[in-house]
Amino acid sequence: MLTKIVMPGNKVDIMVKDRSEPDGKKNYESRVYDVLSDEEFEIHMPMEKTKLILLPVDGVFDFYFYTNNGLYQCNARVKDRYKSGGTYILLCEPVTNLRKFQRREYYRFACVLKMSSRKLQGDELEAAQRNEQYFQDGLPLEQSVIVDISGGGVRFVSRHRYEVGTLIYLTYKLNINGKDKDFDITGKILDAHEVAGKPDQIEHRVKYLNMENEVREEIIRYIFEEERKSRQRRNG
């Protein structure tokens, strides 16, 4: 099944347990280097900033493959680490069956979208603690750019830094059915670090909080529609 679904070049996320993370997990991004058989595949060794992540041999991790047929998941064991032609590679073997991953909010769509944000204040923080959303008008906003979006959160780059754990108000527009629609959202900063080679730019990862299901579904539909258009353009 692996050879029929996963292709070289497919994006892959590797989920690793990490108690230092707010949600107890650390995600590393990589790409499939080659699919050798249904029992073995190779991926590029993941990197964080400019540092190679040496996942331990015999370690078992969650792998999420972004394929042309959707998002697939399996658990896989790292069998070996080596270098081939200047490329650092992890050799892996599945230990569970590859399955279609139905948690659609996880799917992240690469994009470039303008976003504004600021820290929650006073009554806004109290509302967030009650699992509600309340935003005060007229407060100054910081400008940034979303680089990927999902039904669960966004990743954005800015010239300012929010500390991990900060609750923020974020707002952006999505073009839905030919019209721009504003999305005003409460978010929690899960990660913040300098962009490699660009110390004046900070990349943040944000999780949505207290979002209504209807709003989440609208974002997910936008993502899948944009992904469909992108596939059509690539296929001519």
Classify the C-alpha dihedral 185-214-232-36 as positive or negative: positive
Distances (CA, A) of 71 to 99, 113, 179, 190: 9, 23, 28, 23
Residues 7-63: tens digit of each pLDDT: 999 989 898 887 665 456 777 889 999 999 999 999 999 988 788 999 999 999 999
Residues 171-212: tens digit of each pLDDT: 999 998 889 999 999 999 999 999 888 888 999 999 999 888
Q: What pLDDT sits at residue 103?
A: 61
Residues 88-114: tens digit of each pLDDT: 999 999 999 998 876 666 678 889 999
Structure token pair of residue 73: 């998941």
* Euclidean distance between CA atoms 169 and 113, whole angstroms: 16
Beta strands in the chain (DSSP E): 11-17, 25-35, 41-44, 47-48, 51-52, 60-67, 70-84, 87-94, 99-100, 109-119, 142-149, 153-158, 167-176, 179-195, 198-209
Residues 119-128: tens digit of each pLDDT: 999 999 999 9
* Euclidean distance between CA atoms 156 and 148, whole angstroms: 7
Q: What pLDDT sits at residue 89?
A: 96
Strand partners, 26: 16
Domains of the chain from N-terminus onward:
2-102 (2.30.110.10), 106-234 (2.40.10.220)
Q: What pLDDT sits at residue 104?
A: 60
- The DSSP-derived string for 119-147 is E--THHHHHHHTT-----TT---EEEEEE
